Amino acid sequence: MQEYFFANYRLLTDDEISERESMQYLSAFRNALPYAHTFTLRLGDSALLDAKYETALAHPIVSETTGFEIRRGPDGWSFISKDHSAEGNKRERQVLACSRDYSDMTLYMPKDALYRESGRERSYFLPFKTMVRVACNVGIAFHSGLSIHASYVGKDGYGVLFVGPSGMGKSTQAELWERYRGTEIVNGDGPILFEADGAWYAAGIPWDGKDQIYKQRNLPVKAVIVLEQAKENHIERLNAVQAMTVLLKLILHPIWDNDAMDQVTALLYRCAGTVPFYHLKNLPNEDAVALTEKTINEQG
């Protein structure tokens, strides 16, 4: 088994999974960190794949994406690839069987997919990587964590998160801080906010979106900056109700799982009431960086 650490969680995986070229994004998370919870990912017997797939299809569907479905079984959840047609390519079938709290996961996939060394391997593993990410991100809600749509930078021992709709400039602001303040971009998109001893921290995770920036850094959160493009730079502090409204648009909502939703809701209230949130109307320039830095240092 291999160990990987993000936030205050550990991901324990079978060697055969960890050693695949398409899983090397995990390698940056091998440095041991204190952890409060373990996710275990095992490789199931590929001979059982078809039976697991057909059994999962008999269970009710509770959520779906373009690549996979989540179905509720008597003892947990099944994440399965979506091609159910008779002529569907069985070689691309995948089933991720999860315990009720997502802490124990078993992957069933065609054996030959594990051993392909060509670029085709990426297409086999992409749905799997997404399923594991979703399962872990929901599971952390049971252990004081929230997955948030944000760009996360680190500076002087603290973290700043930039949030907003796609195309609003999260990556641009992170890059401006990197250029003008020498900050480190820790996660391009999708870090974790987690609570420990009454304080909130940002953490890099082994997954990212288009930027493909993911580093193993845990830092106390100095501020969350809500972005809006404008013709001049202006910043103001948000109250807890406004912060809650923002958070509701940014986090993963596991609406298929009532227990997880209860945990997420409680975490949202605590986060909105503790972490400083600011609304930044901005231009993509150094003045926006200077104004934001000055404000959060004076008010934070």
**pLDDT at site 129:** 80
- Give the 3-state secondary structure of residue 293: helix
CB 255 within 8 A of CB 263: no
**pLDDT at site 88:** 54
Q: Which residues contact 65 (CB under 8 A, 6 or more apart)?
A: 130
Res 221 pLDDT > 70: yes
- pLDDT bracket for residue 116 (50, 70, 90): low
Regarding beta strands 61-64 and 37-43, do their DSSP bridges make them parallel or antiparallel, or are they unpaired?
unpaired
**pLDDT at site 84:** 58
Average model confidence (pLDDT) across the chain? 89
Res 289 pLDDT > 90: yes
Q: Residue 60 and residue 48: Cα distance in Å, rounded?
A: 21
Supply the pTM of this predicted model: 0.89
Regarding beta strands 158-163 and 218-229, do their DSSP bridges make them parallel or antiparallel, or are they unpaired?
parallel
| CATH-assigned architecture of domain 145-299 | Alpha-Beta Complex (3.90)
Res 86 pLDDT > 60: no
- pLDDT tens, position by position, 19-42: 776 677 788 899 999 999 999 999
Res 209 pLDDT > 90: no
Q: What is the mean pLDDT of residues 96-120?
A: 79
What is the CA angle 155-288-235, rounded to 5? 100
Give the total residue count for the chain.
Answer: 300
Q: What is the mean pLDDT of residues 167-180?
A: 89
**pLDDT at site 22:** 62
Q: Which residues contact 214 (CB under 8 A, 6 or more apart)?
A: 25, 28, 186, 187, 188, 204, 205, 206, 207, 208
**pLDDT at site 236:** 97
Rounded (to 5) percent helix, strand, coil in the chain? 35, 30, 30
**Beta partners for residue 251, in sequence order:** 148
- pLDDT bracket for residue 117 (50, 70, 90): very low
Cite the residue boundaries of each domain of the chain with CATH code 3.90.228.20.
Answer: 145-299
